[in-house]
Structure 1
Amino acid sequence: MPRVLRLVAACALTVAAVLPSSAAAKVPQGFFGVMVDGPATETPGILEREAPRIRAAGAQTVRFAIDWASAQPYATAAEVPEAERARFTDVDGVPTDLSRSDRIVRLLAAQGLRPLPVILHAPDWAAKFPGSLLTDPRRYASPPSGPEPYARFVAALARRYGPTGSLWSTVPPQRRRPIRTWQVWNEMNLNVFWNEPDFQEGYVPLLRATRAAVRAVDPRALIATGGLTNGSVPAWTALRRIYEAGGRGSFDVVAIHPYTRSAAGVLATVRATRRVTAARGQRTIPIVLTEVAFSSSGGDSPDARRFATWDTTERGQADRLRSTFRLLARQRRALGIGGVSWYTWLSPQARRANWSSYAGLSRLSGDRIVRKPALLTYRTTVRELSR
């Protein structure tokens, strides 16, 4: 029997035993997911209403962002304005507010959905480029000034949401969905998320410190790289740079965001990524697509000229989703694909907006949520491909 990849069901990273060829396209529980962000997490009441619909669509893993800067905006208790003190608790000496992530994790767990967090954005006190977002465009994308504060924060999240996490003491056992995989930052090979040349020089120490801190809390936890995307530095080149900087052994899962023209292009990115891991002696390390999508602006987005390769109509978006999911399911064992999450569940109302504002399975139109053709296609395709 071929070697079975070690993955974690907690975030769509389980590879099941070898199946007969007739069932080769079937995927294990947890393989399919979605991202929730934008209006789904920022508008009061929407996620409460949408979480049951996410489950009904067949998604099993839900990726969401934990904003470090919002959770720990002050370095010490003395800096917290008196009017804000009630919302913070002391975590390793840092005032911390986890109410937003508490809410999201509870909502997802109540629906039997596995939360997959990506932790990013350094607070001013821990940023390499501190300053106002209005006066310094580097601020939003600033890497941490050093790895330790970030690592301590993610370890605190593991103590809150991991298998023995304090949150679960208030949740019935049948509704507990502990987080076992932690994604370290997002798209570091783009300067809109990591605005420093040679990102790998600072990122590899961050990975290493975070893995050590989280494993001290949960020895079986997995660390995923931030999603490496196809920009001026392609995902596979960015991964090679991580290895060259000494990153081997500092992560357990490779995450990619293969934005491209077609299902074939998505698969080509996976293959190129696998060649890099194989060259470094990691032929079986899981590759997970923590974002994949096609814009449905139909040319409305100003980005359509720059990113025309993945812009289409709403009907075209649905067709590309189906072909991508089917192809990934067929190739998952051969390439060690651990899972795929669609970006995103719900898009804002958009007009002449960034391409990503058209990527959702649903979209806002005034006060209404419009279900796009891609949502029905997601549901039927996941049902077709799941055991």
Structure 2
Amino acid sequence: MDERNARQGAPSYVPMLRVVLLALVCALALPAGADAARREVPRGWLGVVVDGPMTDPAFAQAPAEWDSLAGSGAESVRAAVYWNQIQPNGPTEQNFTASDPIFLAAAQRGLDVLPVIQGTPTWAARTPFDPASPPRDNADFARFLTALVTRYGPNGSLWAEHPEVSRQPVRSWQIWNEPNLTRYWNVSPWAPSYVALLKRAHKALQAADPGSKTVLAGLPNESWKAIAAIYDAGARGSFDVATLHPYTGQPKNVVRIVKIVRREMQRRGDGKLPIWVTELSWPAAEGKTVQHHDFETTDRGQSDRLKAGLPMLADQRKALGIGRVYWYTWLSQEGISGSAFDFSGLRRLRAGQLVSSPALTIFTRLARRLQGCEKQSGDARRCR
């Protein structure tokens, strides 16, 4: 009986009965620990990038690493999907042997996947044999995206082929990686050609899955200037999520970069679109590589900056529209390329041995707190 009926002459004990019943329902809904904290972020807000050894078919320890990843509190993963691996010889070819294991491993553990679509095959490249070449014809890329939705989307053939796995369809697709760097998009000026690709991609995704989200490429360095260039090239209306890679030495400057980009988006009429931080990291590479960046630090510094930075982003989540945050990366191989990012992993391959970085403990502790499981027993997977 609702309050309206109570006011119309229902017995006086009804309101008290409702209070008692509500209290009982709330008590039953609580986890085993009645003092469990409340979830501070939406499901999937905190994730990690998977690359390197994690996506190498020869990496025998991958299943155990996926289990550790899921147990760490990460609820989503970001992974590169390479066009040149799936269609290396032409548009009629479909070879998903490199990408299927990523989506299946994630689905088996209830993890959402954000694919980053990149890597033009030689046959489709504007400049053949240039790994950073954009496509010659954006229609080829659009058709490839349609093939990916057909494979991994809501009605994807992967799920039909693997009924033993709970479906985890992809609904968000990131279009390229860091196109404002010539390492990934070797055309100048970069923004007009990238936006042309983005527009074609958005139309293809909407046609293949009207409920999908087109995610902008992650923008590093002076990302506020990069997103302004994207808007100047006519991108408004062609993406649903803006993304940043705010590599900077101090955690407070990560938030500052998000604020600057948010102001630019507001100025362009996109103030309500979410911002995802699709790479966040402080590599523990200080004194270990020839390259030097102002965001390098030690293992202790990596832990301290993660401990400070992640709560800052969570605290500003609603005010700045921060929809997701991904740590770069889950597993790295120390010294393999000479890059600082060889020392960015929460887990690392060190001289052939798998080790956990000190930052992993901090990441897991923060994940449990943000997900409302700080005072529960058991691992983070029980808290989802």
Q: TM-score range by the shorter chain?
A: 0.7 to 0.9
Out of 347, 361, 367, the residue aligned to residue 346 of structure 2 is 361
User: What is the deviation of 1:300?
Assistant: 1.2
Equivalent positions of 1:225-240 (< 5 A) are: 225-230=216-221, 234-240=222-228
Match of 2:96 in 1: 98
Equivalent positions of 1:110-259 (< 5 A) are: 110-131=108-129, 139-172=130-163, 175-230=166-221, 234-259=222-247
Match of 2:333 in 1: 348
Match of 2:105 in 1: 107
After superposing the two structures, state which structure 1 stretch, 249-258 or 362-371, moved more: 362-371
| SS of residue matched to 1:303 | coil
Q: Which residue type is aligned with residue 31 of structure 1? A: W
User: What is the deviation of 1:351?
Assistant: 6.9
Q: How far apart are the structure 2 equivalents of 1:70 and 1:252? A: 27
Runs of 4+ aligned structure 1 residues displaced above 2 Å come to 43-47, 170-174
| SS of residue matched to 1:228 | coil
Matching of residue 64 in structure 1 with residue 79 in structure 2: yes
| SS of residue matched to 2:311 | helix
Match of 1:314 in 2: 299
Out of 349, 357, 366, the residue aligned to residue 372 of structure 1 is 357
Q: 5+ unaligned residues in a row in structure 1: which ranges?
A: 1-22, 76-92, 132-138
Q: How far apart are the structure 1 equivalents of 2:236 and 2:196? A: 11
Equivalent positions of 1:16-55 (< 5 A) are: 26-42=40-56, 43-55=58-70
TM-score by length of structure 2 reads: 0.84
Q: How far apart are the structure 2 equivalents of 1:359 and 1:273? A: 25
Inter-CA distance 24–245: structure 2 relative to 1 (3 Å threshold): farther
Inter-CA distance 185–351: structure 2 relative to 1 (3 Å threshold): closer
User: What is the deviation of 1:24?
Assistant: 9.9
Match of 1:260 in 2: 248
After superposing the two structures, state which structure 1 stretch, 25-34 or 338-347, moved more: 25-34
Aligned length: 335
Q: Which residue type is aligned with residue 121 of structure 1? A: G
Match of 2:25 in 1: none
User: What is the deviation of 1:209?
Assistant: 0.8
Inter-CA distance 352–192: structure 2 relative to 1 (3 Å threshold): closer
Match of 2:260 in 1: 272
Q: Which residue type is aligned with residue 220 of structure 1? A: G
Inter-CA distance 241–24: structure 2 relative to 1 (3 Å threshold): farther
CA contact (8 A) 2:124 2:140 kept: yes
Larger Rg: 2
Q: How far apart are the structure 2 equivalents of 1:200 and 1:152? A: 22
TM-score by length of structure 1 reads: 0.84
Matching of residue 323 in structure 1 with residue 308 in structure 2: yes
| SS of residue matched to 2:214 | strand
User: What is the deviation of 1:383?
Assistant: 0.8
Q: How far apart are the structure 1 equivalents of 2:254 and 2:268? A: 22
User: What is the deviation of 1:352?
Assistant: 8.1
Match of 1:293 in 2: 281
Q: How far apart are the structure 2 equivalents of 1:361 and 1:379? A: 10
User: What is the deviation of 1:344?
Assistant: 0.5
User: What is the deviation of 1:375?
Assistant: 0.8
Inter-CA distance 352–127: structure 2 relative to 1 (3 Å threshold): closer
Q: How far apart are the structure 2 equivalents of 1:179 and 1:30? A: 13
User: What is the deviation of 1:386?
Assistant: 1.8
User: What is the deviation of 1:298?
Assistant: 2.2
Q: 5+ unaligned residues in a row in structure 2: which ranges?
A: 1-36, 373-384
Q: How far apart are the structure 2 equivalents of 1:361 and 1:273? A: 28
> Residues 300-340 of structure 1, C-alpha deviation per residue, up to 9 Å, x if partnerless?
11122xx1x21111111011111111000000000000010
Inter-CA distance 24–335: structure 2 relative to 1 (3 Å threshold): farther
Kindly report the root-mean-square deviation, in angstroms, between the aligned alpha carbons of the 2 structures: 1.6
User: What is the deviation of 1:299?
Assistant: 1.8
Q: How far apart are the structure 2 equivalents of 1:147 and 1:311? A: 37
Match of 1:19 in 2: none
Q: Which residue type is aligned with residue 128 of structure 1? A: R
CA contact (8 A) 1:67 1:121 kept: yes
> Residues 194-220 of structure 1, C-alpha deviation per residue, up to 9 Å, x if partnerless?
111111111111111111111111101
Q: How far apart are the structure 1 equivalents of 2:39 and 2:219? A: 25
Q: Which residue type is aligned with residue 212 of structure 1? A: K
User: What is the deviation of 1:174?
Assistant: 6.4
| SS of residue matched to 1:118 | strand
After superposing the two structures, state which structure 1 stretch, 39-48 or 292-301, moved more: 39-48
> Residues 167-223 of structure 1, C-alpha deviation per residue, up to 9 Å, x if partnerless?
111334762110000000000011111111111111111111111111111101000
